[in-house]
Amino acid sequence: MKEHRARKRFGQNFLQDRAIIQDIVRAVRPQFNDKVIEIGPGLGAITEPLVAAVQQLHVIEIDRDIVARLKSSPFVSKLVIHEGDVLEFDFASITGKKKIVGNLPYNISTPLLFRFGVYADDIIDMHFMLQKEVVERMVAATGTNDYGRLSVMLQYFFDMECLIDVPPESFKPAPKVDSAVVRMIPQKGRIGIAEDYAHFAALVKQAFQQRRKTIHNNLKDWADDPVLEDVGINPGDRPERISPEQYVALSNHLLEFDSQSE
């Protein structure tokens, strides 16, 4: 089979470091009866050891040439191939609790990560390879430079941990940035439950609209200072100083305040 050329439009960088591959599969801990979904199997670096461990493996792939390679692979009988854009894939179509793993291209990583919150109740865990800077933003603690909207919205649904640092030379072609593997485990209510998730999401987006401004300025059309102070927020703080728990509490407080005003 001829060599597959990585396609820039799909953000393809193929993992080839055997030690890293083993570390990732060991972290995923696939069991025979697990429902495992791999996003972007590529040339099969992680696919092969996953297939060896499970009864059946679902793979999502947009590249037709790679789909053709998968269909002619020696382990095709254990694959369920979903051809298409993962951003349009309905993960609920695969019933039951799932493990999800993949090497996510930078150009789709953020919108895809936001989508997973919808499916959190049906996910056991997720292990993703991402640009290291994205992982650092995901797991960032309140008050740090990396903490932002992505941190708050993902920490609402998941407990997250950076597991493995992956240097550029682990890939072919080598990317210009460092990568990392993150583990995401759903933990409903870990920072509280938003009474209206859409309201909470819009509030957080507005709060981080201008990071250099204070929360008083960014949310001036949403809440006055006494309302902020009601949930322990200093109006003079910048948005990165506000914890995920406080954003949830503020959203709920605003909704309660509005209902009482009607």
Six token digits for residue 212: 């250099």
Overall average pLDDT of the 126-138 stretch: 96
**Average model confidence (pLDDT) across the chain:** 92
* Res 246 pLDDT > 90: yes
Residues 191 and 139: their CA atoms lie apart, in Å, by 14
Cα 241-245-247 angle, rounded to 5 deg = 65
Query: In this predicted structure, what is the pLDDT of residue 262?
Result: 53
* Res 127 pLDDT > 50: yes
Each residue's pLDDT tens digit, 195-213: 999 999 999 999 999 989 9
Strand (E) or helix (H) holding 82? strand 79-83
* Res 13 pLDDT > 80: no
Six token digits for residue 243: 């914890």
Each residue's pLDDT tens digit, 24-57: 999 999 999 999 999 999 888 899 999 999 999 9
Overall average pLDDT of the 244-252 stretch: 98
Query: In this predicted structure, what is the pLDDT of residue 12?
Result: 52
Helical spans, DSSP H, in the chain? 18-28, 47-53, 64-71, 106-115, 132-138, 149-157, 197-207, 215-218, 225-230, 244-261
Contact indicator for 11, 108 with CB cutoff of 8 Å: yes
Give all domains of the chain, ordered by start, each with its CATH number. Answer: 8-186 (3.40.50.150), 197-261 (1.10.8.100)
Residues 172 and 190: their CA atoms lie apart, in Å, by 39
pTM over 0.75: yes
